[in-house]
Structure 1
Amino acid sequence: MKLINKSISCPHCGHNQHIEIDTSGNDQEYYQDCKICCNPIHFRTQLDRVHQKLTVFVDSDDEQYY
């Protein structure tokens, strides 16, 4: 298992926070509560192993932030 640390901004309250993403699997989609406001954050991750690039999409289900 390989974990990568990313900094994201909560789509609900706007606070920055650090998250850990497990890159040992394929693309992922999951929800995690904001550490500040406790609202659910929708995460989608796409891992491009050829170019060694991880893209993280964060939204509140009604808008998408990149």
Structure 2
Amino acid sequence: MEHFFQCPHCWESISMVLDQSVRQQTYIEDCEVCCNPIEVKPTFEANELISFEVNSIEQ
């Protein structure tokens, strides 16, 4: 599932493909615009995204 959101570093609109097969996840991905790391926390229920949180990771 593709999900669009704002990068917490550069505020650009970006997208990530989320894995709906895992109910709760926490992982780090780099922003495709500014390359800074983002902590991503999606939560799914019945394959529907019910919560999505992103946090900046200080380098």
The TM-score normalised by the length of structure 2 is 0.84
What is the aligned-residue identity percentage? 32
Amino acid in the other structure paired with 1:16? S
**Alignment map for 1:46-65 (pairs within 5 Å):** 46-49=43-46, 53-54=48-49, 55-61=51-57
Distance 2:23 2:44 in 1: 7
User: Which structure 1 residue ranges, 4+ long, deviate > 3 Å from structure 2?
Assistant: none
Match 2:25 to one of 25, 28, 31: 28
Instruction: Name the count of aligned residue pairs.
Output: 57
C-alpha RMSD of matched pairs (Å): 1.6
Unaligned ranges ≥5, structure 1:
none
The TM-score normalised by the length of structure 1 is 0.76
